[in-house]
Structure 1
Amino acid sequence: MAGMDNYSSLKFKAECELQDDPLSKEHRTRDRVNQDDDISDRKYLVVGVQWVSLVTENLLSHPFVVLRRQCQVYNASRRYHLHPFQLLPSIVHLHRRQGLTTLWKGVGSCLLVRGMTLAIDDFISKVTSWPKEVNSRTTLKRFGQHLLLKCISIGLVVPFHAASLVETVQSDIASEKPGLFDVFREGSLRLFYWSSPQKGRMLPAWALIGPSVAFGITKYLFNLVIRGVSSRIMQRRITNSQDGQGGKYQEIYASLIAILTTEVMFFPFETILHRLQLQGTRTIIDNLDNGYDVVPILTNYQGVIDCYQTTIVSEGVSGLYKGFGAMILQFAAHVAVIKLAKWVVNQIVEVMSNRPPQQIVKYYNLDENACNSRSTTLSPSLSSTECSLGQNSQD
């Protein structure tokens, strides 16, 4: 009994000295640093996935945008391309005849127009102090100012967006390749000829800006609502399931759901708007019915209502959804890229976190130097026993 009491007192003394040991404190500090590093690494990796999604949305999806717009503006097409399988033969023929670069036409002008939109938003925000971003804590007055900023920005960019649309859909083999900054020249001309366009059937700028602003701001508000609702639903599901890992990609998936839902809902209105913007530009596009020849776009719409009624009468309701298969391909590729990026991120996280649990490290005290430093104060038998335990755990 005396030996057992002696051993218990020695063990209690060892535990007390272990808590006061500077090497043990160093281990605890190192563990906290490693945990902080893991959290920081995960944040950087999630930001990487967000950047991949942004690049996919603005750059890698461009070939599908080209196909989609060509289908939308071709009012005399026999094939509507409502599903992706109808598009595949035309894509193959375009690739054989013109090369794969034909699907990347107009990418520079599209990026310039998007950059111009961001620059105008930033300029108006600095001049007027109107917010260019909103969140759930934004007041009603500030939200109204934000919508007014968006309306002005969309209205100013409409002529340049129309010029970019022409570069996106025109055929490479039947038209001269535009210069990098031709979108600014053509857009400025359309804005300058406010009420009397420089070409016969081209609609004046004032007839395009009204519908474009109404379409753009309604689409933007719908996107905000869907993103907020989907984000809250995902947050509630994550909270109920107590899954801490699911919240990392919540904003990415909420944004993707909002974009997909918005594009599907506003697809018919986009078709009408693109036809009005292209009218009178004498644009020649690739014939996606077969992918071999080219066709001119000759329309004479008087406005939004006339375009809608003419499309319904001559093409049917499905005529408003021409090129819907290209949008399906676009979002399928977008989801696939995000899934691939997420898988790569998870693999990196697993490799970086492949270390022994911190509780085991603290309990068995794997550092041999700590065992050697305590051997002067503990009995030789107790010290050698703890050191042997640490070595066995390493093995």
Structure 2
Amino acid sequence: MAGMESYPRHSYESISDRPIQSRYESDEVLRFSGGASRERFSPKSFEDASQKDDDGTITKYIGIGVGLASLITENLLSHPFVVLRRQCQVHNNSSLYHLMPVTFLPVIVHLHRRQGITTLWKGLGSVLMIRGMTLAVEDLISKFTPWPKEISWHSSLKSFGQHILLKCTTLAVITPFFSASLVETVQSDIASEKPGIFDVFKEGICRLVSWSSPQKGRMLPVLALVVPTVMYGLFKYLFYNGVRGVANWVMHFTHRHEQEKQGALSRDILGRTVSQDIELTSSLIGLIAAEVVFFPMETVLHRLHLQGTRTIIDNLDSGYEVIPILTSYEGARDCYVTIVQQEGVAGLYKGFGALILQFVAHVAVIKLTKFMLTEISSLLRSARKPPPAASSDMDLTRVSPSHHVYSKPPSGYGYTQQAYLPSD
């Protein structure tokens, strides 16, 4: 028996009457040290460790699943609401502003009856291409320059400035391609030819070549669009990260304060589940706040990009007609002043109801995904839960520094155990 060699005067004949059947049965005995301390080795400890590993793995996959659902919702499922919002923003003569979601319902029904279910998914390919192109350009620039793609709160001021310069350069390069993608997103399917897969690159390159030269008609040159586009993208990015960081800190502080109110802090203040929830919630709060605050600026920017493109959009006042977009803004300032004078301040928020629908759907998908994955994990845990083990009444009773009594082992070992005293 391991750990019993220091007690040669003890007699253990009954223990050797029958061979031990398993490793766990042999480990169930107690280990002595100096006759004063004791330590129990039980199979239950191994089962608990295995259970914790399984729970940690399941929690990890739940977090991955919820994050993936949020990413898909942000890039794919929210696209119909983006189409509705943009068509409202660029319609300068609309009578309905669609500030609330309920006004969209009859319009959506009419659009689906006349143009089919795909009418709200137009331009999805170009939007995804622009996002992928943005990441590719940013990665390419960072490889040939010392400008970092990622920064933290502990980064130096120089690294922060270089990171901002990287973002601005990327936004400037993407500007003409964004204009082409915007046209594909808002133009009517029944009044325009469906664009090809690579038309967004062809149109973008055409506008990029004529960087600063005057355009035909009312179309603004790309150089006039770069400054408002870069300002919009940069300010929105900084605002999003600032709100996200503050929300993350507040939720961490709140969770820690709740633990302190309970009397003690756990060794792992933030479990994996809590940490995942805080990260996802803070990102969603930052995204919603950035979209709401910069909505008026987005309206101005979309009208500037669409001007002079001869785009025909669906009339969202009724959902039955199509109308051309004819504007003559001289720049961002003139566009803003004209909107406020002719359409009022509410004109800057045309289509805001679509943004509300977008984030309601976003939160609903996240909640539903988390609920389903949690229920599935609960079923898996209950299916893998082992039957309750028989309780062990093995114990070591100290009689004196030189006398010990070894009580009977747990039931089910198949032999009878007696108590022995050291022989004198």
Amino acid aligned to 1:284? I
2:397 is matched with which residue?
Answer: none
Q: In 2, Cα distance between the equivalents of 1:310 and 1:362?
A: 81
How far off its partner does 1:137 sit? 2.4
* DSSP 3-state at the match of 2:192: coil
- The answer on 1:18 being equivalent to 2:57 is no
The worse-fitting range, judged by mean Cα deviation, of 41-50 and 244-253 is 244-253
1:271 is matched with which residue?
Answer: 299
Contact 1:199 1:281 in 2 (8 A): no
Offset from partner CA, 1:288-310 (integer Å, 9 cap, x none) = 00000100000000001110111
Q: In 2, Cα distance between the equivalents of 1:18 and 1:278?
A: 81
Instruction: Provide closer, same or farther for how the CA distance between residues 33 and 299 of structure 1 changes in structure 2, counting only shifts above 3 A.
Output: same
The worse-fitting range, judged by mean Cα deviation, of 214-223 and 238-247 is 238-247
Q: In 2, Cα distance between the equivalents of 1:173 and 1:18?
A: 82
Q: In 2, Cα distance between the equivalents of 1:31 and 1:149?
A: 49
2:333 is matched with which residue?
Answer: 305
Higher alpha-carbon Rg: 2
The answer for unaligned runs of 5 or more in structure 2 is: 1-14, 16-24, 32-40, 260-269, 394-408, 420-424
How far off its partner does 1:344 sit? 1.1
> Matched residue pairs, number?
361
1:378 is matched with which residue?
Answer: 417
Q: In 2, Cα distance between the equivalents of 1:356 and 1:166?
A: 54
Alignment of 1:130-149 (within 5 A): 130-149=147-166
Alignment of 1:56-205 (within 5 A): 56-205=73-222
- The answer on 1:325 being equivalent to 2:353 is yes
Offset from partner CA, 1:198-218 (integer Å, 9 cap, x none) = 431100010000111011101
Q: In 1, Cα distance between the equivalents of 2:135 and 2:389?
A: 51
Instruction: Provide closer, same or farther for how the CA distance between residues 240 and 77 of structure 1 changes in structure 2, counting only shifts above 3 A.
Output: same
Offset from partner CA, 1:111-164 (integer Å, 9 cap, x none) = 000000011111111111321112222222111111111000111111111100
1:346 is matched with which residue?
Answer: 374
Instruction: Provide closer, same or farther for how the CA distance between residues 88 and 17 of structure 1 changes in structure 2, counting only shifts above 3 A.
Output: closer
Contact 2:392 2:410 in 1 (8 A): no
1:293 is matched with which residue?
Answer: 321
Instruction: Provide closer, same or farther for how the CA distance between residues 28 and 92 of structure 1 changes in structure 2, counting only shifts above 3 A.
Output: same
Offset from partner CA, 1:80-120 (integer Å, 9 cap, x none) = 00001111111110010001100000000000000000111
How far off its partner does 1:362 sit? 8.3
The worse-fitting range, judged by mean Cα deviation, of 276-285 and 197-206 is 197-206
Displacement over 4 Å in runs of 4+: 14-17, 24-27, 355-358, 360-365, 370-373
Amino acid aligned to 1:162? S
How far off its partner does 1:363 sit? 4.6
How far off its partner does 1:197 sit? 4.5
Q: In 2, Cα distance between the equivalents of 1:31 and 1:114?
A: 46
Instruction: Provide closer, same or farther for how the CA distance between residues 320 and 364 of structure 1 changes in structure 2, counting only shifts above 3 A.
Output: farther
Amino acid aligned to 1:321? Y
The worse-fitting range, judged by mean Cα deviation, of 73-82 and 128-137 is 128-137
How far off its partner does 1:30 sit? 3.8
Contact 2:217 2:308 in 1 (8 A): yes
Q: In 1, Cα distance between the equivalents of 2:150 and 2:225?
A: 26
Q: In 2, Cα distance between the equivalents of 1:61 and 1:17?
A: 59
How far off its partner does 1:196 sit? 2.2
* DSSP 3-state at the match of 1:256: helix
Instruction: Provide closer, same or farther for how the CA distance between residues 38 and 17 of structure 1 changes in structure 2, counting only shifts above 3 A.
Output: closer
The answer for unaligned runs of 5 or more in structure 1 is: 1-9, 381-395
Contact 1:208 1:276 in 2 (8 A): yes
TM-score, normalised relative to structure 2: 0.80
Offset from partner CA, 1:340-372 (integer Å, 9 cap, x none) = 0111122123223337999x758559xxxx968
Q: In 2, Cα distance between the equivalents of 1:236 and 1:361?
A: 41
- The answer on 1:38 being equivalent to 2:66 is no
Amino acid aligned to 2:58? D
Q: Cα RMSD (Å) of the superposition?
A: 2.6
2:237 is matched with which residue?
Answer: 220
Contact 2:308 2:327 in 1 (8 A): yes
Instruction: Provide closer, same or farther for how the CA distance between residues 361 and 151 of structure 1 changes in structure 2, counting only shifts above 3 A.
Output: farther
Contact 1:238 1:247 in 2 (8 A): no
How far off its partner does 1:61 sit? 0.1
Instruction: Provide closer, same or farther for how the CA distance between residues 250 and 363 of structure 1 changes in structure 2, counting only shifts above 3 A.
Output: farther
Instruction: Provide closer, same or farther for how the CA distance between residues 32 and 247 of structure 1 changes in structure 2, counting only shifts above 3 A.
Output: same
Instruction: Provide closer, same or farther for how the CA distance between residues 197 and 40 of structure 1 changes in structure 2, counting only shifts above 3 A.
Output: farther
- Higher helix content, 1 or 2: 1
2:267 is matched with which residue?
Answer: none
2:20 is matched with which residue?
Answer: none
TM-score, normalised relative to structure 1: 0.86
- The answer on 1:29 being equivalent to 2:68 is no
